[in-house]
Amino acid sequence: MYSAGLAVVADVGWRVTDLRVDWAEDPVDRLGDLLDVWLPQRDAYVRRGLDPATSPSYGVPGDL
C-alpha cells in the first residue's frame, strides 16, 4: 500500500487544494480522480472563504 498527496497554495493565505490518498495500490491514479472532482469546485470554495456574502449557497449551516 502507498500514499500520495497534493497541496497547492495560491494568491490567498491558505491552501486552495489539499488532497491525500492513503493505503491505496494506485494512489496517484486515485489522487487524479479526486482532483477531477475537486477542481471544478475549488474557485467557489475560495470565493466563499474570501467573501461569503457573494458566494454560492450550498445549503449548509451558516449560509446566509
Tens of pLDDT, residue by residue over 28-51, are 999 999 999 999 989 988 998 899
Identify the domain containing residue 48 by its residue range.
2-54
26 domain residue, yes or no: yes
**The model's pTM:** 0.76
Note whether residue 22 is domain-resident. Answer: yes
Rounded distance between C-alpha atoms, residue 7 and residue 29, angstroms:
16
Give the three-class secondary structure for 12: coil
Beta carbons of 34 and 42 less than 8 angstroms apart: no
And the C-alpha cell for 52? 461569503
- Does some domain include residue 61? no
Under 8 Å between Cβ of 15 and 8: yes
Contact assessment for residue 56 and residue 31, using Cβ atoms and an 8 Å cutoff = no
Confidence of residue 1 (pLDDT cuts 50, 70, 90): confident
